[in-house]
């Protein structure tokens, strides 16, 4: 009998910048369809961890093992660079905090969505455009804006466009770094609603970094709390937020303003 394997398995991951510690001793498994939230204050190593997981930077020690579609479980840092880059633009998505970092601002929204398709060999203009249209609808952007450059879009639209651009190749794993940062509350709510719908419908696995516990509660199934580069507590979201064990988590939870 086949035992199910985790999609992403992280073992004793650590990254130090010289004597300065980025993050250390991080281990966890991410299962297909699961949303993992990483919370913690600024400077706690969230983004360093995220960058290691998504192969943006190389960790100092530890392994990141990904269950690839073709060859099963492989350490992403043992892969050749071309394999890793192919993985990153097909099976993975990376949604950045600032949509202007993740989008190509000089070209139209349609080209932004179609870029990954063309990168993996799509060569039929009509098909690419239809897919782009579909995705704009899915992320609730007016299809009439398909030929407008994203620089003419509002912040919320840019963020949704960035999500569409990442999901177009139907990735299995998406990394999100503060996807709701810099958006006002009503736009945040719509984006979260959309994200939750997409995650459920597509069965995505997501690693989401946030300092906003409300976002974490809404999206994440499981939560990891980081402090000074270490994971101080992890567990089911409701459990961590409603019954925090570690002193830092208690502080974090109690700092939320109660309306």
Partner 1 sequence: MDGYNFAYLDEQTKRMIRRAILKAVAIPGYQVPFGSREMPLPYGWGTGGIQVTAGVIGQDDVLKVIDQGADDTTNAVSIRRFFARTTGVKTTEKTTEATLIQTRHRIPERPLSEGQILVYQVPIPEPLRWLEPRETETRKMHALQEYGIMHVKLYEDIARFGRIATSYDYPVVVNDRYLMKPSPIPKFDNPKMDNMPALQLFGAGREKRIYAIPPYTKVKSLDFDDHPFEIQQWDENCALCGSENSYLDEVVMDDQGGRMFVCSDTDHCESRQSDGHVGPMGTQQAAE
Is residue 76 a contact residue for partner 1 (CB under 8 A)? no
Q: Interface with partner 1 includes 102 (CB under 8 A)?
A: no
Can you say whether residue 192 is alpha, beta or left, with left for phi > 0 and alpha for psi between -120 and 50 degrees?
alpha
Two tokens at 62?
Answer: 């530890």
Q: Does 88 bind partner 1 (CB under 8 A)?
A: no
Residues linked to residue 16 through DSSP beta bridges, in sequence order: 21
- Least distance in Å: CB of 48 to partner 1? 23
Q: Which is nearer to partner 1, 71 or 81 (CB)?
A: 81
189 binds partner 1 (CB under 8 A): no
Rounded CA separation 176/94 (Å) = 6
**Distance (Å, whole) CA 25 – CA 115:** 37
45 makes contact with partner 1 (CB under 8 A): no
Question: Would you say 14 or 110 has its CB closer to partner 1?
Answer: 110
Which one of the spans 15-23, 39-47, 66-74, 107-115 is the region binding partner 1 (CB under 8 A)? Answer: 107-115
Name the residue nearer to partner 1 (CB basis): 28 or 153: 153
Closest CA to 230 of 17, 47, 46: 46
State which residue, 107 or 194, has the beta carbon closest to partner 1.
107
Choice between 116 and 222, CB closer to partner 1: 116
Q: Which stretch binds partner 1 (CB under 8 A): 33-41, 80-88, 136-144, 155-163?
A: 80-88
* Residue 114 lies near partner 1 (rule: CB under 8 A): yes
Among 4, 126, 144, 259, the residue binding partner 1 under the rule CB under 8 A is 126
CA quadruple 50, 51, 54, 58: dihedral positive or negative? negative
> Tokens in use for 51?
């960058």
Candidates 40, 102, 110, 229: give the one binding partner 1 (CB under 8 A).
110
| Helices within 91-212 (DSSP H only) | 99-102, 109-119, 125-138, 155-167, 185-202
Give the Cα separation of 139 and 173 in Å (integer): 18
Binding mask 139-158 for partner 1 (x = CB under 8 A): -------xx-----------
6: tokens are 């985790």
Residue 68 CB, shortest distance to partner 1, in Å, is 18
Tell me how far the alpha carbon of residue 19 is from its chain's centroid: 28
Question: Applying CB under 8 A, does 107 fall inside the site for partner 1?
Answer: yes
Q: Please tell me the count of residues contacting partner 1 according to CB under 8 A.
A: 23
- Report CA 251 to chain centroid distance, whole Å: 26
Question: Rounded to the nearest whole angstrom, what is the least distance from the CB of residue 165 to partner 1 in the complex?
Answer: 11
Contacts of 45 (CB under 8 A, 6+ apart): 21, 22, 23, 226, 228, 229, 230
Site residues, partner 1 (CB under 8 A): 81-82, 85, 104, 107-108, 110-111, 114-116, 118-121, 123-126, 128-129, 146-147
């Amino acid at each position: 009998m086949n035992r199910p394997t985790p999609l992403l398995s992280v073992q004793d991951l650590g990254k130090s910048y010289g004597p300065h510690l980025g993050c250390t001793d991080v281990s966890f498994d991410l299962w297909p369809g699961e949303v993992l939230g990483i919370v913690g204050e600024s400077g706690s190593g969230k983004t360093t961890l995220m960058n290691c997981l998504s192969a943006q930077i190389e960790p100092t020690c530890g392994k990141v093992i990904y269950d690839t579609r073709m060859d099963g479980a492989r350490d992403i840092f043992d892969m050749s660079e071309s394999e890793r880059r192919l993985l990153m633009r097909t099976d993975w998505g990376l949604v950045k905090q600032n949509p202007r970092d993740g989008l190509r601002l000089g070209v139209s929204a349609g080209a932004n969505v179609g870029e990954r398709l063309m990168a993996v060999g799509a060569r039929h203009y009509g098909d690419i455009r239809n897919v782009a249209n579909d995705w704009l609808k899915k992320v609730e952007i007016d299809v009439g804006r398909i030929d407008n450059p994203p620089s003419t879009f509002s912040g919320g639209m840019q963020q949704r466009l960035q999500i569409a651009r990442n999901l177009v190749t139907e990735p299995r794993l998406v990394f999100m770094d503060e996807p709701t940062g810099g958006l006002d509350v009503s736009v945040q709510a719509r984006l979260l609603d959309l994200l939750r719908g997409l995650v459920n419908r597509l069965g995505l696995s997501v690693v989401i970094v946030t300092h906003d516990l409300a976002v974490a509660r809404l999206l994440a199934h499981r939560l990891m709390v980081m402090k000074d580069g270490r994971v101080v507590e992890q567990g089911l979201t409701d459990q961590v937020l409603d019954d925090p064990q570690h002193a830092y988590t208690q502080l974090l939870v109690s700092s939320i303003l109660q309306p």
